[in-house]
Amino acid sequence: MDQTKIRNIAIIAHVDHGKTTLVDQLFKQSGMFRQNQVVEERLMDSMDLEKERGITISSKNGSFHYRDHLVNIIDTPGHADFGGQVERVLQMADGALLLVDAAEGPMPQTYFVLKKALAAKLPIIVVVNKIDKPAARPDWAVDEVFDLFVKLDAPDDLLDFPICYASAKNGFATLDYNETSENMIPLMDFIIDKIPHPQGDPTASLQLLVSSISYSSYLGRLGIGKITSGTLNINDQIVVMRENEAPVPARITNLYHFVGNKKEDIQSASIGQIVAVAGMDTITVGMTYTDAQNPMPLRAVELDPPTISMTFTANDSPFHGQEGKFVTSRQLRERLHREILSDVALVVEDLQDAQGYKVSGRGELHLSILIEKMRREGYEFQVTRPQVIFKTINGQRQEPYEELTIDVDEEFSGNVISNLGNRKGILLEMNTNNGLTRLKYKIPTRGLLGFRGELMTETKGTGVMNYIFAEYGDYVGPMKNRKRGTLVSAEQCKATAYALSSLQDRGKFFIKPGDNVYEGQILGEHCRDNDLAVNPGKGKKLTNVRAAGSDDAAVVEPPTIMELDRCISFINDDEMIEITPESIRLRKILLKENERRRAKKMA
C-alpha cells in the first residue's frame, strides 16, 4: 500500500473524556457500516470488565477509510494505572489526538500521556470534547492545554497545535465551538491534513517492533506492531530478536490488518501498516521481527517502574478447592507469567522465604483488574494488602509519591483536607468555582491506600479523585490508614440471624444469615479500633415455656457489600483476601486467635 495514503494516530486522554465514544463516531461516519446495520456502542471495548466499568483497560487497534486514505486508530487506556499500555503503543503512531473535556480541562492523566507523546516527538491535534455540556468552557480548556505544553517544554513547532471542538456523544466536530456541525468531517479532514504519513524505506531490511500482543484460539499468540522498514509477506523466513540478544528463526504463517475493529487476512504488508503477525509462539512485547540475512532489532521503549505490589498465594483456607477450577500454586504461577507477556508494566517474582508470588504494578486498579480477570477464568487464590515499593537512594529510604487531584463540593472540602493531612498529603493548589472545589496534593502512595472509600463516605458519593505517579521522595514514617478493627469469627459454623442480631451493636457486618464462615474469617468492621472474636453461629435456646415477646423475629440489618476494590482498600497487613470464582472473603493470615495473640506479643 502507498505509505503516503496511511495515517496512524493514537487517541490519548484522561479517563472518561470520551476517547472510545469518539472512535465509535469516526467508524460510523466513515461509511464502514451499512445504513440499516445494528452497531453496538463502545466498539473498541472488547473485555466484559471494560464494558462494565466504562473504561478502556487495554489498547486496541482499528481502522477506517476516508478520502482514499487508510486511517489506523490506536485507542489507549485513560487511567494512570494502565500507563504501560500507552507508553508502548505510542510507538505505532505517527501523530496523536489529545482529547480534553471542555468543562474539566487537562487532568493528571492528560499530563502523563502528553508527556509520553512529546517524548516520542508526535505531532498533536487537540480535540476539546463535550462542548455540549452546560458547564463547558472551551477557551479556558485550550489555555490550560497550552500551559501544559509549555510546562512540558514542548518544541516551538508543536506549541502551535491545531484545535478542533467536538461532541462525540452527539456525533459532530467543528472548528468554531460557537457553531454546531452535522458530522465529524472537520476532524477527519484534520487527521488527513495535519498528521504526517509514516516514514521509512520499503526496500530496506524488515523491522517491525511488537508493541502489543493478541491471542487466537487457532493460531496462538499474535504480535502487533507497525512496519517501520521493509516489507512482510506470508511464508517469509525471518528472525525474531531483542536488542543484544540472539536471533530466533521464525516463519510468517498468517498476516492480518485491521478493518474497523476486526482483523482481516492479507498476503503482504509494507511501510506504515499496522499488522498482526502469526508464526512465533514465544513472541513478547518489545521483540522485533527482522530479516534473517541482515537482522536489525529496534530498541524497546523503557517503561516507568511499578510502584505497588501484592503477594499472590494458593488458597489455604478451610474452604479451599470448593469453588475454583484452578487451585494449585503451579497453575497460579503459569497464569501470572502468561499475563506479563502482554502486560509489560507488570512484574512477577517468586517469593524467596515463602510459597507465593510478588506481583508488582502501577496501582491498586492495575492489580485489581488482574485479580478480577483471573477470578472470572476460574482461579482460586489469596492476596495480601498492597505494599508500596521502597527504594534506597544515596543511603536514604525513599517512597513513591502521587500527584492527586480531587473535585468535591465546597461543603465537603474541610473534611477531605483534614483526612489528607492525616495521610501526610501536602496541599499544592486549591481553587473554588461555582461551589466546586478542586484540590491538588502531593501525597505518598501509602496515603492513598484505602482513601477512595473514605472519600466516597465523606462526600456522600460525589467526590472525584484522580492521581498519577509523581516521583520518589523522602520516607515520611509510619502511617495508619484504617481507624477501626474487625469482627472475626471464633469458629467454623453457619451464621444465624439470632447471633448476628445480638451482635449488631458491635459493628457493621459483611455477611448475612445462612452464610458459611470459618474460624479466622473477617465478618465485619468493629465499632472500636481493636479486633473482636465473635460467635456468629450461636443459636437461640429453646424451652417449652412461652412468654410475651419471646417469639419476636430477629431483625438483621442488610450487610455491607464488599466488592473487590473495597476489600483491597480495607485490609491491613495481618489480613488477606480469599478470591474464588463465586466468593470474595476477608480473613486473618493467622486463623486461630491464640496464634494471633502470640504474634502480637512477639511483634
The dihedrals phi and psi of 187, each to the nearest 5 degrees, come to: -70, -40
Q: State pLDDT tens for residues 75-85.
A: 888 676 777 77
Burial class (CB in 10 A: 0-12, 13-18, 19+), 574: middle
Mean pLDDT of 297-323: 89
Longest CA–CA separation in the chain, Å: 98
State which H helix or E strand residue 432 sits in.
Answer: strand 426-433
Report the distance separating Cα 76 and Cα 370, nearest Å. 18
**Percent over 70 (pLDDT), the chain:** 93
Cα pseudo-dihedral 47, 48, 50, 53, rounded to 10 = -170
Distant-in-sequence, close-in-space partners of 338: CB < 8 Å, separation ≥ 6: none
The mean pLDDT value of the chain amounts to 86
- Range(s) of the chain covered by CATH 3.30.70.240: 391-474
3-194 topology per CATH:
Rossmann fold (3.40.50)
pLDDT at 28: 82
Beta-strand (E) ranges in 495-548? 507-509, 516-517, 522-526, 532-534
Report the distance separating Cα 31 and Cα 108, nearest Å. 35
Least confident of 56-65, 124-133, 314-323, 577-586: 56-65
Residue whose cell numbers read 490508614: 481
Check whether 601 has a pLDDT greater than 60.
yes
- Reduced to 3 DSSP states, what percent helix, strand and coil does the chain have, rounded to the nearest 5? 25, 30, 40
Report the distance separating Cα 281 and Cα 213, nearest Å. 11
3 state DSSP class of 43: coil
Check whether 486 has a pLDDT greater than 70.
yes
Mean pLDDT of 132-137: 89
Amino acid 211 reads S
Residues annotated in the binding site for GTP, as ranges? Answer: 16-21, 129-132
CB-CB neighbours of 477 under 10 Å: 7
CB of 190 closer than 8 Å to CB of 162: yes
Multiple choice CATH, 391-474, 1.10.10.10, 3.30.565.10, 3.10.450.50, 3.30.70.240 = 3.30.70.240
CB of 442 closer than 8 Å to CB of 403: yes
Grid coordinates standing for 173? 466536530
- Range(s) of the chain covered by CATH 2.40.30.10: 207-291
Q: How far is CA 541 from CA 133, 493, 547, in A?
A: 62, 17, 14
Compute the half-sphere exposure of residue 204: CA atoms within 13 Å on the CB side of its CA: 11
pLDDT at 95: 93
Domain 486-542+550-577+585-602 has CATH 2.40.50.250: yes
Q: How far is CA 505 from CA 499, 513, 519, in A?
A: 12, 16, 21
Check whether 300 has a pLDDT greater than 90.
no
Grid coordinates standing for 287? 521483540
Check whether 40 has a pLDDT greater than 80.
no
Residue whose cell numbers read 461555582: 434
**Percent over 90 (pLDDT), the chain:** 44
Mean pLDDT of 415-426: 91
Check whether 45 has a pLDDT greater than 60.
no
DSSP one-letter string for 308-377? EEEEEEE--STTTTSS-SB-SHHHHHHHHHHHHHH-TT-EEEE-SSSSSEEEEESSHHHHHHHHHHHHHT
- How is residue 523 annotated by DSSP? E
pLDDT at 280: 82
pLDDT at 35: 46
DSSP one-letter string for 124-154? EEEEEE-TTSTT--HHHHHHHHHHHHHHTT-
Residue whose cell numbers read 459454623: 493
Amino acid 444 reads P
Name the band, by pLDDT with cuts 50, 70 and 90, for residue 544. Answer: low
Report the distance separating Cα 292 and Cα 411, nearest Å. 67
Mean pLDDT of 543-565: 73
pLDDT at 277: 92
207-291 topology per CATH:
Elongation Factor Tu (Ef-tu); domain 3 (2.40.30)
Check whether 543 has a pLDDT greater than 50.
yes
Domain 308-388 has CATH 3.30.70.870: yes
Name the β-bridge partners of 74: 10, 61
Name the band, by pLDDT with cuts 50, 70 and 90, for residue 42. Answer: very low
Check whether 379 has a pLDDT greater than 80.
yes
CB-CB neighbours of 498 under 10 Å: 18
Report the distance separating Cα 12 and Cα 78, nearest Å. 7
Report the distance separating Cα 37 and Cα 249, nearest Å. 44
- Range(s) of the chain covered by CATH 2.40.50.250: 486-542+550-577+585-602
Q: State pLDDT tens for residues 178-213.
A: 888 888 999 999 999 999 999 988 889 999 998 888
CB of 228 closer than 8 Å to CB of 207: yes
Residues annotated in the binding site, as ranges? Answer: 16-21, 129-132
